[in-house]
């Protein structure tokens, strides 16, 4: 029985771009579109993860101050719009699609961290559970950020190949 490989594992594999210059133009465009779709999914997971971390930090702060759950809820817009540890604008990279497909299948073993259940149970979680979940989210954010950086290198290589073909009139 063969092992199932995720699309991102294929795209980030060492041999994925080995013969990119030999791919027919249609194949290059198809793979490029697939990479953009994967990048949108990874970026979405990263954004959701960052938002969950910000909310858990605010909940821990709220508890330390003795604030109410209503206070946390009323400050959600500020929490989610906060500056946080973001990449400077000049180094940021916008996704070409704003949201992933609605039928995204994200099975990486940590999907429970980015579901709404995490937030719905927030008032019932012990402080240690909050800290543990925040730590897991931090690890997930680092993982998807690294995947996103590597994926951008693949997309950049495909962009360069497409641009080169346009210059010589092959595209």
Is 91 within a domain? no
Query: What is the helix (H) or strand (E) element at residue 60, kind and residue range?
Result: helix 25-65
Structural domain includes residue 96 = no
Whether residue 1 lies inside any domain: the answer is: no
**31 falls within a domain:** yes
Q: Which residue has the tokens 């979940």?
A: 133
Helix ranges restricted to H, 82-126: 116-120
- Number of structural domains, the chain? 1
1: pLDDT confidence band, cut at 50, 70 and 90?
Answer: very low
Residue 125 lies in a domain: yes
- What does residue 94 show for φ and ψ, rounded to 5 degrees? -80, 140
Q: Number of helices and strands (H, E) in the chain? A: 6, 0
pLDDT in tens, 54-92: 999 999 999 999 999 899 989 989 988 876 555 554 555
9-19 tens-digit pLDDT: 999 999 999 99
* Residue 124 lies in domain: 7-12+20-86+109-167
Domain presence at residue 97: no
Q: Is 57 helix (H, G, I), strand (E, B) or coil?
A: helix
* Residue 104 is assigned to a structural domain of this protein: no
Residue at 99 is within a domain? no
Q: In angstroms, what is the C-alpha Rg of the chain? A: 20
Tokens at 136, concatenated: 């897991």
């Amino acid at each position: 029985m063969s092992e199932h490989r995720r699309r991102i594992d294929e795209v980030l594999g060492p041999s994925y771009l080995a013969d990119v210059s030999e791919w027919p133009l249609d194949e290059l465009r198809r793979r490029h579109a697939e990479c953009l779709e994967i990048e949108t999914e990874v970026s979405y997971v990263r954004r959701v993860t960052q938002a969950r971390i910000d909310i858990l930090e605010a909940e821990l702060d709220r508890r330390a101050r003795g604030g109410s759950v209503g206070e946390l809820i009323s400050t959600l817009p500020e929490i989610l719009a906060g500056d946080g540890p973001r990449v400077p604008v000049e180094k940021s990279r916008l996704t070409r699609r704003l949201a992933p497909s609605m039928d995204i299948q994200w099975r990486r073993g940590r999907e429970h961290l980015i579901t709404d259940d995490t937030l719905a149970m927030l008032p019932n979680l012990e402080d240690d559970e909050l800290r543990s979940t925040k730590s897991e989210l931090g690890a997930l954010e680092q993982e998807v950020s690294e995947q996103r950086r590597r994926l951008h290198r693949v997309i950049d290589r495909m962009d360069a190949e497409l641009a080169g073909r346009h210059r010589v009139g092959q595209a």
